[in-house]
Chain A
């Protein structure tokens, strides 16, 4: 269950799950919706697969992902989305990262 909580805590991973609600998609199709690097997306996919929230299958050179959410996980996803979990954390971390200059110890 910890893996599921960890996977659902991140807004990017939740958006991936929302995208897969519509239909199964290839890794490239999903990555096109985000402005992040491919390795970062791969890490997100790995966490989602580890939590068994998605199912990925390699066909030729592409990987097709499908949603594999139980009802409870679906409800948790909706709850996390409604509460905006992770958004504040992301905003706070980006704010602190921008306000604190790198390389200067306090």
Chain B
């Protein structure tokens, strides 16, 4: 990515963030304060969600570009640096993460706006965020289950596509067997995602379903570290000839 394109991307990102923030601010009715007092912990958590995602995304994006970020990448790759002509690979990962987080922020802001206007837009609020927030009954907890299932599906989808990622290292310079590692991680994530979906749909008690789902969603993170360590410490570098991007 060229410098002007990079700065254009950052400016667009900031404009998007400011736009979403202003939209949320001007849509905040006075009724939100009593609600905040009544639901303080949850509300604080949501505010942190809304305003924490974008800085986190930008931090992730910057980490992919700065020397500190590249030092971290180098350490994770057994002191082998990604060749300069392949650095765009790292920025692409950062960009995708940033976009995900920014759109996540927009989604949550939209949900908050709907919640604030739930008396005017009860059906939209019900469809978008759930009867609980719209003040309507939901005895079977269908909406929370839907969100957990959606998270599981997202995890399965990401896991499914993971082995399609090509290595950013040149052949013969890979610190571990990239293909094997990606395949193993992909399988772990996909299976965890699908089990989460099944769990959210079929476990009768919602709290148990949420707990089991959270544990399963954590499993890929816990599993990927040992997989990475095995391939970093014990894996053989690829014997293939070098390849260009």
Do A and B form a real pair? Answer: yes
Seen from chain A, the residues whose Cβ lies within 8 Å of a Cβ on chain B are: 21, 23-26, 52, 55, 57, 59, 62, 64, 66-72, 74
Interface size on B, residues (CB 8 A): 21
Q: Once A and B bind, how many residue pairs between them come within 8 Å at the CB atom?
A: 56
Partner-contacting stretch, out of B1-9, B30-38, B77-85, B234-242? B234-242
- Flag if B186 contacts A71 (CB, 8 Å): yes
Residue B27, interface by CB 8 Å: no
Chain B 133-164, CB-CB to A under 8 Å as 1, else 0, gives 00000000000000000000000000111111
| Residue contacts A-B, CB under 8 angstroms, 8 given | A25-B240, A59-B242, A67-B163, A68-B163, A69-B164, A71-B160, A71-B162, A74-B183
- Flag if A74 contacts B240 (CB, 8 Å): no
Which residues 191-245 in B have Cβ within 8 Å of A in the complex?
Answer: 238-244
Whole-angstrom distance between the alpha carbons of A70 and B182 in the complex? 10
- Flag if B241 contacts A64 (CB, 8 Å): yes
Q: Which residues of A contact B107 (CB under 8 A)?
A: none
Q: Which of A52, A64, A66, A69 has the most chain B CB atoms inside 10 A of its CB?
A: A66
Determine which of B163, B164, B166, B238 lies in contact with A23 in the assembled complex, contact meaning CB atoms within 8 Å: B238
Determine which of B160, B190, B243 lies in contact with A59 in the assembled complex, contact meaning CB atoms within 8 Å: B243
Q: Which residues of A contact B244 (CB under 8 A)?
A: 57, 59
Q: Which residues of A contact B163 (CB under 8 A)?
A: 67-71, 74
- Flag if A64 contacts B171 (CB, 8 Å): yes
Whole-angstrom distance between the alpha carbons of A68 and B186 in the complex? 12
Q: Which residues of A contact B29 (CB under 8 A)?
A: none
Whole-angstrom distance between the alpha carbons of A59 and B244 in the complex? 8
A66 touching B186 in the complex, CB below 8 Å, given contacts A23-B240, A24-B171, A59-B241: no
Residue B19, interface by CB 8 Å: no
Whole-angstrom distance between the alpha carbons of A74 and B164 in the complex? 11
Q: Which residues of A contact B161 (CB under 8 A)?
A: 70
A66 touching B240 in the complex, CB below 8 Å, given contacts A24-B171, A71-B159, A74-B163: yes
- CB of A20, distance to nearest CB on chain B (Å): 8
